[in-house]
Structure 1
């Protein structure tokens, strides 16, 4: 979206928009509000480098990712090639859809015509209603196929699912009832296919790990994650400070854009700043930094990566923590449960692999992955940093 304004300070306008998002509980969108540099007459992005005291340690820190053996070499997992393409669609269970109980109520599409009322207390009044069609939409397996092709990429397989579902339901209900419930049937079929796709993809992922076709390791090539040597920030961006207003001291970069944090993430950052054993912390950026590819299409981008100091050397770290924070309203959601399973798997694989397999960069380091709920993150971090 774009906002065009006449003779108004671009910075003042953007600040107002960001403040509006914050008041509406949409603080996460603030970082996406930017001005066109040519129009606003602003300077290019600033380049922020790693703090000098962390440069050596950060440059040697390489985090493991899931790799598959392909053409005699190890490559990062590619969802489409390594997972989605291997899904055995003939193993999909459609029984929950076939056993659906359809509603007796008729779906109606009615156009209501309203006008301003002469009665000031009523404001508007209905003049009439026109019934646009009888019953539901036309039962069409091709239309149904189109609605599930984003889940089942092969249109022929998708058509088989649609056809099989309609044939089975036709043996229990008449055509009119199926038409009245057609949208409901499509929605339920989509839900079941999505669940089955997730189940089968997880099986493939775990089988590849069990058969050693996939490993959680460091290759030492361009595929691994290393901390960026510099980050760019908008000229108008404000830096996050400590809770008491003093500058951050333990962040990997001196300047950390405040707009990239929600309130829970700010609280975590402030907490980390006050920990004696903390070496440095880094706000992992979505779609740009460290990511974990699991059995679902979208990668997981954790919120924080932080390290604790070595008991023998205060200028180095001995433990690496990868942390994802979740609000209370998101705990128990399918997405959160999936991330918790993936992080648990990462911990298991990191322990199972020898240090040499994980790579020299993490040979003597301890790796830990955690999903922290909004109401328990402080207690868990206390335990983690006491280990």
Structure 2
């Protein structure tokens, strides 16, 4: 299974909390209805009270509430992985089943193909997540596929549709609602008119034959009607593209039970439950930024192509060295956007795909097999694995075919040979080079950043266009990471920002403590999660006794959604049970789902065996098989909780024995505040309300784009405390920034440091939104900061610098609804 990034797990935690609240609110509504009380109760809105903003309710085609939420995920954030994991959460926490129908809607052919390929590949992490949810019973279908009531009762059926195919007004796809062979088992026989009347009363928005025809009033046995019967969970990829009145009416007309939108740029009317920022994605190494913009002043487009090719060659040399040292293969690819691609469009004054191809081959000695064309007429990368070491492609030429849905982590360079002033396709093309290979930083700036080369563009306008493109990819908060090269725009160059003259005596002398262990040579080194904490866990102490209190669904009678009360489908449940009896529990499959938590597969296998033994003592085998997804998910939760308990136990034990200490040493990552920082000379600086630069910043200035609203307010508050604080510093997240390794794998990166002279104290501050006040991540940081405060009492930590010997370090988490009160109390205490 693919390990989730910290922000992805946080997003799923928020979704899980909402689904539990939704289930509780729905149960209350059902109780009110059973009592016959005429009390208006909007259960979908009631559940949202635990969310961050007002909820806009939706109704399905039957006039029933349909919970509709959006995960805002920027480009490169892993929205498909979040989607498959969200399906599991919706099925388990809200619908209480493993089977049923999921309708997955995508906007483009490219996204459709990629998603279909991944979901059909049983070895792909996306498919494995679905198999985990369904207990290995997953069926992936397209709109022309046929399926039966038995399929949706015994399997998790995921049907992919293009958004245009779901549009009821699209004449080409009206056959979705035409009578089709293969769906008759879902409907009464044509001569059972009374059953058809009953079915129409139950589901009034079903399509029927015209009353003037021989089958007047009979429900059509179409795919569209079948979808309306099944109340599917609906996944809407690029959800912002489905907000026209027609699209919304069509989607809700499928009578979904739940709608989950995924979008980088959701519209205002979208119910955004989770907002993943570009900074979060960048922090986890998912995208290649900075984005360097090179604007060639030459009148010859060949000079721009030459510069891009030279850059690509330099990157490949660096990538080859990186592979030799680290074993990871990267083959940098350059994309070229031309003005024409058609066979009859090669005209003087226009840059044609063949012009670029010929120049690459004849003048730059590029091998023909290293060049591919992607256009509406030619697709030379279709069914090509661009990430394979056997693939020779290093150059891709296109006009606008590489838009949303096409992403290759090896793409490092975009070369724009078109008119950027009227180039809407360019903004989408920029997003295609942002994904980081293997979703983690290499530590080499050349392989962790990306480039745009442009021909005959106005630099200021070009930068604005590219930044607008990043905003369109949901990366507006990192749009400031677009940097013009020094030759093209000196005002946008990257410059060094130094410590202010009045604080120069702190240069090279400001250090922060970290948790350290003995290096075996009489010294100390920073603690490592795997080598020092996880390796010491006694996995035999994992307690699985809570398994005895698990309650499995009795027979999943809730799956009667398919039957809708019709007599002709009441035989499905016994069939479903009999199929479950024939299936075999696979401990090896279950073990594989635990390997991201338990390093040793043999130990994981023992946990599976013990879990099954405990469950078999209480439930029949068929019941366990039917609820296998629930069993695996609960087992993972239990082991994760035990892992947290045991790693904390190891951490505390090492602290108590003195083997682990909170020391000030030079070997900790980011423990030394740098003597200079990088910034863009032309970017907007953080200023006070009067327009002045803050007076107490350790460095000459910071950039406004590096602060959200709460962080900006905190920074300016700190700057006003001149009588108490000597200086303050913004700890921007990066590979060299200060972070704290605790008993979890992920390392918190505090937001601010501030130095107080009397009593000598360094304040380390982390800001949080109030909606994150009680999630597991915040609780962990609170506990870790408490330990930091406990073990950072004034001591002569180390002779690394006497400047800070005896200083106390105070760690604080402040929330956006109370930060000023907390900081007031902190600074007035002595």
Query: Which TM-score band applies after superposition, normalised by the shorter structure?
Result: 0.7 to 0.9
Return the offset for 1:222.
Answer: 6.5
**Alpha carbons of 1:224 and 1:235: their partners in 2 closer, same or farther (altered >3 Å)?**
closer
SS at match of 1:68: strand
- The equivalent of 2:641 in structure 1 is 195
Q: 2:752 aligns with which of 282, 304, 307?
A: 304
Q: 2:511 aligns with which of 62, 65, 82?
A: 62
- The equivalent of 1:336 in structure 2 is 778
The answer as to 2:414 corresponding to 1:7 is no
Unaligned regions of 5+ residues in structure 1, if any?
Answer: 112-130, 312-317
When structure 1 is superposed on structure 2, of 339-348 and 239-248 the one drifting more is 239-248
Q: d(CA) in 1 for partners of 2:799 and 2:815?
A: 28
Q: Is the 8 A contact 1:325 1:372 kept in 2?
A: yes
The answer as to 2:804 corresponding to 1:354 is no
Structure showing greater Rg: 2
- The equivalent of 2:726 in structure 1 is 279
Q: d(CA) in 2 for partners of 1:358 and 1:199?
A: 35
The answer as to 2:700 corresponding to 1:254 is yes
**Alpha carbons of 1:361 and 1:295: their partners in 2 closer, same or farther (altered >3 Å)?**
farther
Aligned residues: 355
Map Cα deviations across residues 247-299 of structure 1 (whole Å, 9 max, x no partner). Answer: 22222222312222111111101111211222111111224311111111111
**Alpha carbons of 1:27 and 1:337: their partners in 2 closer, same or farther (altered >3 Å)?**
farther
**Alpha carbons of 1:176 and 1:255: their partners in 2 closer, same or farther (altered >3 Å)?**
same
Q: Is the 8 A contact 2:686 2:704 kept in 1?
A: yes
Q: Is the 8 A contact 1:106 1:180 kept in 2?
A: no
- The equivalent of 2:820 in structure 1 is 378
Q: Is the 8 A contact 1:216 1:358 kept in 2?
A: no
Q: d(CA) in 2 for partners of 1:12 and 1:254?
A: 26
Q: d(CA) in 2 for partners of 1:321 and 1:172?
A: 54
Q: d(CA) in 1 for partners of 2:827 and 2:472?
A: 37
Q: Is the 8 A contact 1:142 1:159 kept in 2?
A: yes
**Alpha carbons of 1:174 and 1:107: their partners in 2 closer, same or farther (altered >3 Å)?**
farther
- The equivalent of 2:809 in structure 1 is 367
Q: 2:468 aligns with which of 12, 16, 24?
A: 16
- The equivalent of 1:120 in structure 2 is none
Return the offset for 1:99.
Answer: 2.3
SS at match of 1:75: strand
Return the offset for 1:354.
Answer: 2.6
- The equivalent of 2:172 in structure 1 is none
SS at match of 2:705: helix
Q: 2:525 aligns with which of 64, 75, 84?
A: 75
Pairs within 5 Å for 1:52-201: 52-71=501-520, 72-104=522-554, 105=556, 134=576, 139-201=585-647
Q: Is the 8 A contact 2:525 2:668 kept in 1?
A: no
- The equivalent of 1:119 in structure 2 is none
- The equivalent of 1:293 in structure 2 is 741
Q: Is the 8 A contact 2:768 2:814 kept in 1?
A: yes
- The equivalent of 1:117 in structure 2 is none
Q: d(CA) in 1 for partners of 2:589 and 2:482?
A: 41
When structure 1 is superposed on structure 2, of 341-350 and 245-254 the one drifting more is 245-254
Map Cα deviations across residues 126-171 of structure 1 (whole Å, 9 max, x no partner). Answer: xxxxx9x957786321111111100111111111111221222122
Return the offset for 1:70.
Answer: 2.7
Alignment RMSD (CA, Å): 3.1
Q: TM-score, normalised by structure 1?
A: 0.82
Q: Is the 8 A contact 1:306 1:320 kept in 2?
A: yes
Q: Is the 8 A contact 2:765 2:812 kept in 1?
A: yes
Q: Is the 8 A contact 1:218 1:224 kept in 2?
A: no
SS at match of 2:792: helix
Higher strand share: 1
**Alpha carbons of 1:155 and 1:222: their partners in 2 closer, same or farther (altered >3 Å)?**
closer
Q: Is the 8 A contact 2:795 2:806 kept in 1?
A: no
Return the offset for 1:12.
Answer: 1.2
Q: TM-score, normalised by structure 2?
A: 0.40
Return the offset for 1:189.
Answer: 0.8
SS at match of 1:67: strand
**Alpha carbons of 1:156 and 1:222: their partners in 2 closer, same or farther (altered >3 Å)?**
closer
Q: Is the 8 A contact 1:303 1:325 kept in 2?
A: yes
SS at match of 2:788: helix
- The equivalent of 2:686 in structure 1 is 240
